[in-house]
Structure 1
């Protein structure tokens, strides 16, 4: 069911939108009397506070928390492959004077187990508020083929396209997500101060110097992961994931660690990770997608419950990974289950 369909259910949707008294956006920008404040927790907040700490805008208890230096990625050979992913979670395009490669600088996002697999993200860059407003007023279709719709509740503009909604908190910060993820984030901002409410170890990873992207996950007890262990046996006993990377030659470089429940599980994970070509499910998927070329070689080293790894990825394989991520993003934003539900963290259904 889309956001538009849910608006036909006034009680539920009005409760969602009424709770989000974050910003008054008028046709020419920030409206509602004072153009230089955002309402958070019933208090007026300087927009600079919003722009300064995007992680503090996200809901608590993420299963996965990620960071992307979008500006760095757009400057790499993989730049053209990421635009569709960003527009899937932030449904804007030329109709709103928005070009992802020009206007997006960084992105913070979380996957949550709230009412299924939910997501919420903070996209930062430059947003033409007036153009977005005009596109919504004209119900202009975005890249997904769905119209951009603006709904106004409690002095706030909520923009939706299908199953994805976003709020322009400032001209440089947008909060986006599916309905459940947006509601959780906006309810939290309505009632509490702007402060981070995610595990410190995740924040520490996202702040790794010179990392163009980072991914931190606590997947202990996630049934979806357990269901994937037959095809990806290195997931057995896995509890935490830490991954950082950059977009340097040969295309993308990954490094990180996997934390298992015990040393025995870590030893088994090391064996399974040492040669990805022995993973039947993995190779079967590559074959079905027509991906040519060798699977990247991964270097692994075990220390007690942890398995450290490094893996250089060439451009073609990196595009394959981005294609899977794009598939998941598009399916998630339309309420469908992704077809490539074999790997975590891309596995969200």
Structure 2
């Protein structure tokens, strides 16, 4: 089985990533006591599916260990004449996508320096080595935004899991069976999903087409100024300001965007800094100025604040499900 190695730049804990996923409704992630992160997802090429088993080295000195992922790509390698070149390209593509999913494509050596801010210091102490765990792709983040709009998070997670089981690719990895979410080509053929309205099905088809056309390409979105990327995403059917931020931050893995349309983040920031509940655009602007202290990791600190808010709230899943205004 092919494998790739990822060397984290700065703090990283795979165990913390797994603990997060176990409480993150869209992931529908089952507990694995062996410390292996098992993933199955549509590849960035829009056609194949990746199954991966991710482990992190445990270092005797307590330092950040290397991350190793064994994986398979379905379907397998192409014609033998091009197999070697194709395999090398596929390995590199899988490595890049896994790095983005785990936020290992970001140099975090400067992140500990943010601990000069007492709020950030508390967050990193409570969640050592936790980086944002992203959706597998902007495509999957966008489909979640459509599925989860105006319904309960637990209901949306169940629908997403059902779509994967009924229409996605079934894979075996590290002794377990997983179902990947359908590739864009497969998603656009689905005509009925219990629990989804006809307009949501239409919007999922449109997102599948957008993914196949390259409009949900993570490197492209990350390369644009954030405002431009968000504007592009808002041209997609069903994608409002909230959902566009979700796709850019948690789908494309942008590390430095303050979510201006996420009320739960705003409440978490205000609570952490001892401010009143934000109710106006001016309040949000003030919070954004506070977030400027977190550059170039504004997305990361906002993520940790949401994790803290979830941990200290009443039981219930934490997710970026679209509010009614999206």
User: Would you call these one fold, judging by a TM-score over 0.5?
Assistant: no
Q: Hey, which of these two has a bigger chunk of helix by percent?
A: 2
> TM-score, normalised to structure 1's length?
0.29
Larger radius of gyration: 1
> TM-score, normalised to structure 2's length?
0.30
